[in-house]
Amino acid sequence: MRIRTIKTPNTVQYAIIQDITRDGKRTTKVYENIGNLEKLKQRAGNEEPLVWLENYVRDLNIKEKKNKAPVIIRKDPSKVIDKNVQSAFNVGYLFLQDIYYKLKLNKICDKITEQYQFKFDLNDILSKLIYSRILFPASKLKTLELSKKFLEQPNFDYQHIERALPVICENMDFIQSELYKNSNKYMERNNKILYYDCTNYYFEIEEESGLRQYGKSKENRPNPIVQMGMFMDGNGIPLAFDITPGNTNEQITLQPLEEKIIKDFELAEFVVCTDAGLASNANRKFNNKNNRKFVTTQSIKKLKSHLKDDALDLTKGWKLTGSSKTYNISKLRTDEKLIEKYRDKIFYKERWIKENGLEQRLIITYSVKYQEYQKNIRNNQINRAKKIIASCPNKLRKPKSNDPKRFIKTTNITQDGEVADKSIYAINQSIIDEEAKYDGLYAVCTNLEDSVEDIIKVNRRRWEIEESFRIMKTDFKSRPVYHSRDEMIKAHFITCFLALIVYRYVEKKLDERYTAPEIIETLRTMDMKLENETSYIPNYIRTDLTDALHEKFGFRTDFEVIREKNIKKILRQTKK
């Protein structure tokens, strides 16, 4: 800062000015108007006016270097704000940007750009698509507009997005393998345990083509779907994914993607954990060789009769981890004292079985908490079934496996064997009793020889991959899908997948203390207001979560005023 003196015929005006950069050019702006000599004398008091002013400017420069100089903001109550001028910007994306650059996604874009020699900025497009998918999920066209909310404005047009997406699709495998290598350098990954699951996404159309095919929709929608298979590592970070046509049997999607991981990611020894829907005998055999292992959920109802009978027998053979004693746990169905005593315990029984040329270990577990959970779910469904009987039984159709209507029985004849005038509806107690037999019971099959406790811990984390699909569908609004060409469909899911990885790392940085809606809503609302062209004022609520973000990421956006030069430092820091 320095003094500017303006002489007029009648007086001398004094002001303090500072250098700024605007649109890449250096210029000056008035920091503070001191006024004429009389006003200067009033502020100087007993000191020599010009000496006081020089000392005042010197103190301001010292404070400026320490980032402690006060910011003076002037507003004219009689002036209307400028038309079509944006003054509020989102800075929540900076935490996502920090992860994006730590994973060196910018370097991946550079390699692709070098190969194709196009002129548009692929890194800017991909990064904005990822940030927007997390914070402002929308269509491609809308994303371009919404990305203008970010402090750093997009440096591309809509046509560039259209040209970039096919390129992203062509390099889908390259992006995933390079990202895996980069992520290992950023934060250690648990690639000894891999979780695999499938889901599908529907389209708002009725015509099939390419990847869009009619299949068994997870959401029971009568629309064409595509299927996504995804691997997640043992720390809950997505590892790899693939997109297959909606009519593909999900059981055959595991091996091709796993083979790709083995080849491109150079992984060899790991445990694959899946749910029962993906537990085909072929998949188990595939992971029973070359030092690979499997842990998969096993339906007790689908076991052979002698194995099922043994699993349902609560009177003998049950153990607790760390003990060789066997228990009769049949009273855990009804004895409240025993239920309370063993509420936090897990009983188990196990045996090795050999079927279809595969030797595997069958582990049956019993948990009071799981028993109560299943019973509560069923009771809620029974209550819904009762309401259906009371309100609209004529709308009954053939129920699905988890439909409350399965508890309703229909009687169409009288006790005398005559045809009834009308149908009689009632709760089918026999079905309730049959399902109650399985309360608290859970089974897995594995070729691991580890302790039962460790195997249970591995299987428990399957919920995280299911949560990842929920985040993509609900928070990232990845469905319905509006693309029609296969390459654009795949590119859409690449950005969703990358967004999920970036988000999961933010979660890890925050020690998994907050939920997805909490984190995303906080980042979405972290706005800054530009004042006097060089200063930014936070326009959001400071909370424990914003404090945690600033602490973990090492920069702060919550000072009362942040100068433009300090904002530039933050931008540079998030791109290291």
Q: What is the pLDDT of residues 143-191, one digit of tens each?
A: 999 999 999 999 999 999 999 999 999 999 999 999 999 999 998 899 9
Q: Structure tokens of 392?
A: 């609209």
Residue 59 domain flag: yes
Q: How many CA atoms lie within 13 A of 19 on its CB side?
A: 5
Question: Of 417, 445, 473, which marks where a domain is finished?
Answer: 445
What is the mean predicted confidence (pLDDT) over 45-52?
A: 85
Top-confidence residue, 25 or 308: 308
Q: What is the pLDDT of residue 395?
A: 65
Residue 495 domain flag: no
Under the banding of pLDDT at 50, 70 and 90, the label for residue 247 is very high
pLDDT in tens, 431-476: 999 999 999 999 999 999 999 999 999 998 999 999 999 999 999 9
**Range scoring the smallest mean pLDDT among 169-173, 269-273, 479-483:** 479-483
Q: Would you say residue 29 has pLDDT above 80? A: no
Question: Of 398, 422, 445, which marks where a domain is finished?
Answer: 445
Domain with 12, as residue range(s), is 2-65
Residue 235 domain flag: no
Backbone angles phi, psi at 233, to 5 degrees: -80, 175
Per DSSP, the three-state class of 307 is helix
Q: Name the strands in the sheet holding 318-320, side by side, starting at the edge strand that comes first in the sequence.
A: 238-245, 225-233, 193-202, 271-274, 293-297, 441-446, 358-367, 346-355, 318-320, 326-327
Q: What is the pLDDT of residue 414?
A: 60
In percent, the amount of the chain with pLDDT more than 70 equals: 96
What is the mean predicted confidence (pLDDT) over 554-562?
A: 93
Under the banding of pLDDT at 50, 70 and 90, the label for residue 246 is very high
What is the mean predicted confidence (pLDDT) over 264-276?
A: 93
Under the banding of pLDDT at 50, 70 and 90, the label for residue 424 is confident
Tell me how many domains the chain contains: 2
Q: What is the pLDDT of residue 25?
A: 75
pTM, rounded to two decimals: 0.85
Per-residue CA distances from 202 to 102, 227, 311, 374 (Å) = 33, 9, 38, 30
Residue 42 domain flag: yes
User: How far, in Å, CA of 176 to CA of 170, rounded?
Assistant: 12
Residue 344 domain flag: yes
Contact 200, 425 (CB under 8 A): no
What is the mean predicted confidence (pLDDT) over 354-363?
A: 92
Q: What is the pLDDT of residue 416?
A: 63
Q: Would you say residue 249 has pLDDT above 70? A: yes
Residue 135 domain flag: no
Backbone angles phi, psi at 318, to 5 degrees: -90, 140
Residue 92 domain flag: no
Q: Would you say residue 55 has pLDDT above 90? A: no
Q: What is the pLDDT of residue 517?
A: 95
Q: How many CA atoms lie within 13 A of 5 on its CB side?
A: 8
Residue 78 domain flag: no
Under the banding of pLDDT at 50, 70 and 90, the label for residue 85 is confident
Question: Of 419, 445, 471, which marks where a domain is finished?
Answer: 445
* Beta strand 225-233 pairing with 25-36: unpaired
Q: What is the pLDDT of residue 421?
A: 63
Q: What is the pLDDT of residue 325?
A: 92
Could you count the other beta carbons within 10 Å of the beta carbon of residue 218?
Answer: 15
For the chain, the average pLDDT equals 90
**Range scoring the smallest mean pLDDT among 3-7, 68-72, 517-521:** 68-72
Q: Structure tokens of 83?
A: 């038309």
User: How far, in Å, CA of 110 to CA of 97, rounded?
Assistant: 16
pLDDT in tens, 426-435: 899 999 999 9
